[in-house]
């Protein structure tokens, strides 16, 4: 394109094409830069969303792993505590012939009060202060707690450990029924089969128990019912009460101390325990004190396992540790009488316990979900 200007001596021609071409090039460059920026922004936005989704997935997997570890560790802690206190209680009550399981339960209540009271004063643990409605908030746990402790010790004293372990598996069936009734939890078919097999093995073992003791059987069956009730109500109180696990342990022991002391006094067990001839033996004294402290540790591990798992799982783990107690109990205490039918029944119950352990703690992997960034853009609320 050219423009002519007329003048006195001739004409001057101005060529504007280069200028126009440059302006077009600049405009095209601006358009390319703008569109390129839009493309980069869109790409970075998609990468940001994809990274955010990946981060959330990793956090979810870490949370699931942490919860799974808590479930397993709390169950192992409870199983080890339950095993140790069963063996120690059996040694104190049977090997040393300590006359009163009621006095031993009083010692365990005292240990829980002292340890938790000192822990709160040193600010190692915390729980709400005592109020007028505290007992009403945790009722009926104190009564269940005391009865479970006393009758459990009575059964340990009266029966051989293999039969005690076999009969304790009835608490699993009771817990399963109570969870269904109170908490509305229905176990899977595999869980039900393993529980029924455990009960069947216990019945076979009991049918040929050559050291049968009716009082011991009654104590254990009462303990089973109280154990089932304790597991279910602990789960319920932890979910609905602000007292917490330490508060439940402390106030259960505190409210039941005086009734336990009165029961010891009126039955004459307090006098028998004070006059026991082995108090000067340092080995016996150590095991007695260890039994008292282990009572507190067992209470803590029971609540911890119930909090992270379920009442049925806590009961099963408590019976699962009886696998070790069963075979060790054939040599501890000296009150087990061997018979083939009894031994077969005990082993059936043990194998069923292993089956339940596999079914319960097998980690179920959630199905993989496609990342949100892989969905069509319309599903993300964008225009296609």
Provide the 8-state DSSP code for 321: T
**Short-list 342, 302, 325, 277, CA closest to 91:** 325
For helices 244-267 and 214-240, the axis angle rounded to 10 degrees is: 150
Report the pLDDT value the prediction gives residue 313, as an integer from 0 to 100.
75
Return the higher-pLDDT residue of 69 and 318.
Answer: 69
Residue with tokens 């009271």: 117
pTM: 0.67
Q: In 207-225, which positions are buried (b, 16+ CB within 10 angstroms) versus exposed (e)?
A: eebebebeebbebbbbbbb
114 has which bridge partners? none
Is residue 155 within 8 Å of residue 223, measured between CB atoms? yes
Alpha-carbon distance of 278 to 200, in angstroms, equals 41
Residue 98, pLDDT above cutoff 60 = yes
Per-residue pLDDT tens over the stretch 255-313: 999 999 999 999 999 999 999 999 999 999 999 999 999 988 887 888 788 888 876 67
Report the pLDDT value the prediction gives residue 46, as an integer from 0 to 100.
56
Name, of 101-110, 177-186, 345-354, the range with top average pLDDT. Answer: 101-110
Return the higher-pLDDT residue of 176 and 33.
Answer: 176
Per-residue pLDDT tens over the stretch 282-293: 999 999 999 999
Report, in angstroms and rounded to the nearest whole number, the Rg of the chain calculated over CA atoms.
36
Average pLDDT over residues 233-260: 85
Lowest model confidence (mean pLDDT) among 41-55, 167-181, 337-351:
41-55
Q: In 119-157, which positions are buried (b, 16+ CB within 10 angstroms) versus exposed (e)?
A: ebeeeebebeeeeeebeebbeebbebbbbbbbbbbbbbb
How sure is the predictor about 28, in pLDDT bands with cuts at 50, 70 and 90? low
* Beta strand 2-7 pairing with 10-15: antiparallel
The chain-wide mean pLDDT, for the chain, equals: 79
């Amino acid at each position: 394109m050219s423009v002519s200007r007329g003048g006195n001596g001739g004409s001057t021609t101005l060529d504007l094409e280069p200028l126009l071409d440059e302006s077009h090039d600049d405009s095209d460059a601006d358009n390319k830069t703008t569109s390129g920026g839009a493309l980069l922004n869109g790409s970075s936005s998609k990468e940001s969303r994809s990274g955010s989704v990946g981060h959330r997935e990793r956090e979810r997997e870490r949370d699931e792993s942490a919860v799974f570890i808590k479930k397993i560790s709390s169950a192992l802690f409870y199983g080890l505590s339950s095993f140790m206190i069963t063996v120690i209680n059996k040694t104190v009550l049977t090997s040393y012939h300590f006359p009163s399981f009621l006095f031993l339960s009083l010692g365990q209540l005292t240990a829980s009060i002292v340890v938790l009271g000192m822990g709160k004063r040193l600010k190692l643990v915390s729980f709400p202060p005592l109020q007028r409605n505290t007992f009403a908030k945790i009722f009926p746990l104190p009564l269940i707690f005391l009865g479970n402790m006393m009758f459990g010790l009575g059964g340990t004293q009266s029966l051989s450990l293999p039969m005690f372990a076999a009969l304790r598996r009835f608490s699993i069936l009771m817990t399963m029924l109570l969870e269904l009734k109170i908490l509305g939890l229905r176990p899977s078919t595999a869980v039900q089969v393993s529980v029924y097999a455990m009960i069947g093995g216990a019945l076979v073992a009991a049918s040929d128990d050559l050291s049968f003791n009716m009082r011991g059987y009654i104590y254990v069956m009462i303990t089973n019912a109280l154990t089932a009730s304790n597991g279910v109500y602990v789960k319920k109180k932890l979910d609905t009460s602000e007292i917490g696990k330490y508060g439940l342990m402390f106030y259960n022991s505190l409210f039941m101390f005086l009734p336990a002391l009165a029961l010891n006094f009126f039955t004459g067990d307090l006098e028998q325990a004070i006059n026991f001839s082995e108090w000067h033996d340092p080995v016996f004294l150590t095991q007695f004190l260890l039994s008292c402290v282990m009572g507190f540790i067992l209470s803590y591990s029971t609540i911890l396992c119930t909090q992270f798992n379920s009442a049925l799982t806590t009961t099963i783990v408590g019976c699962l540790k009886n696998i070790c107690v069963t075979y060790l109990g054939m040599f501890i205490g000296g009150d087990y009488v061997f018979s083939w039918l009894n031994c077969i029944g005990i082993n059936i119950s043990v194998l069923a316990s292993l089956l339940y352990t596999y079914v319960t703690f097998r980690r179920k992997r959630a199905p993989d979900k496609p990342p949100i960034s892989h969905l069509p853009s319309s599903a993300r609320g964008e225009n296609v």
